[in-house]
Amino acid sequence: MRGDGDTPALLELDGVGKSFGGVAAVADLSFAVPTGSVMGLMGPNGAGKTTVINLITGLLGFDRGHIRFDGAEIGGAAAHRIAARGIARTYQNVRLFSGMTALEQVLAGGFLRRGTSLIASFLGTPASRAARARSLAEARHLLDRVRLAHRADVLAETLSYGEQRRIEIARALGAHPRLLLLDEPTAGMNAAESAAIGGLVHELRDAGLTVLMVEHNVRLVTDFCDHVAVMSFGRKLTEGTPAACLAHPEVQAAYFGRSGDAERIRALR
């Protein structure tokens, strides 16, 4: 297990609260993501998991509490500043541009980050041609990292759902993050595709990245997460090792309908 014991936290949420029109989507939420670990964020639909990711990335402001990244407060900062500090994400619903190849999807992510360089690249100056060559090489390297180098020139919408999700991860990695937030990265995938995502997440962790992933797949959580926090109705229900969290009676009730249904949860593992 990584990131336990005295490992400093890369990300810390401290008493974070967010309400929408009087309804608390996140309430008094505190947890820490140890540097160099894979942390799972579980909880039933509507528990507030995506909202947590939106709060961390500055897509939404929050009402109370603190969010610290590498020891510095990032609560209230603009999304682009938080991204520049080294936090990247993928979305629960795949967000790719239609009519673009896999390679172009990853390139477009880089151009969006670099602002005007897309226009400059069409002007064809030597400097812009060199910059474009560097961008292309980096995009190919990113596709290779997510095992999609052989699909570089395929239109993204013709790729499998699992491949599309991996393109999103490649695009997020192009921002050179230290913390990667994945919102249900295996939703809609079969067992083999899901396990491949788990393997990729471990490779990224072993290369120095810290990962927080929203995940429902019990097998993926037990096999690939070092640490888990479980949310219910905006609050933290429990936190700890995957085995300890999944053994929690309220987690079993939330996920499997009946509390104390130990037989079924054992079978799933």
Least distance in angstroms from the C-beta of 62 to Mg ion: 17
Residue 25 near ligand ADP by CB under 6 A: yes
The smaller minimum CB distance to ligand ADP, of residues 45 and 98, is found at 45
Residue 63 near ligand ADP by CB under 6 A: no
How many residues bind ligand ADP, per CB under 6 A?
A: 10
Is residue 94 a contact partner of residue 62, using CB atoms and an 8 Å limit? no
Stretch of 46-54, 105-113, 149-157, 249-257 lying at the interface with ligand ADP (CB under 6 A): 46-54
- Beta-bridged to residue 69, according to DSSP, are 11, 72
The smaller minimum CB distance to ligand ADP, of residues 46 and 199, is found at 46
Is residue 7 a contact partner of residue 227, using CB atoms and an 8 Å limit? no
Q: Contact with ligand ADP (CB under 6 A): which of 20, 114, 203, 244?
A: 20
HSE at residue 193, side-chain half, CA atoms within 13 A, is 13
Distance CA 173, CA 141 (A): 10
Stretch of 47-55, 73-81, 189-197, 200-208 lying at the interface with ligand ADP (CB under 6 A): 47-55
- DSSP states of 181-241 as a string? EEESTTTT--HHHHHHHHHHHHHHHHTT-EEEEE---HHHHHHH-SEEEEEETTEEEEEE-
Distance CA 181, CA 85 (A): 14
Distance CA 55, CA 45 (A): 17
Stretch of 48-56, 154-162, 165-173, 218-226 lying at the interface with ligand ADP (CB under 6 A): 48-56
Residue 51 near ligand ADP by CB under 6 A: yes
Q: If residue 107 lies in a helix (H) or strand (E), which one and from where to where?
A: helix 102-114
The smaller minimum CB distance to ligand ADP, of residues 25 and 87, is found at 25
The smaller minimum CB distance to ligand ADP, of residues 146 and 254, is found at 254
Least Cα distance to 228 among 57, 50, 43 occurs for 43
Residue 46 near ligand ADP by CB under 6 A: yes
What strands, in cross-sheet order, belong to the sheet with 64-69?
Answer: 23-34, 9-20, 64-69, 72-73
* Binding region for Mg ion (CB under 5 A): 49-50, 92
Residues 6+ apart with CB under 8 A from 226: 1, 2, 3, 4, 34, 37, 38, 39
Residue 45 near ligand ADP by CB under 6 A: yes
The smaller minimum CB distance to ligand ADP, of residues 59 and 262, is found at 59
Residue 25 binding: pick among ligand ADP, Mg ion, none (C-beta 5-8 Å cut-off by kind): ligand ADP
* Nearest position to Mg ion, beta carbon: 50
Stretch of 38-46, 121-129, 188-196, 202-210 lying at the interface with ligand ADP (CB under 6 A): 38-46
Least distance in angstroms from the C-beta of 236 to ligand ADP: 12
**Residues engaged in binding ligand ADP (CB under 6 A):** 20, 25, 43, 45-51
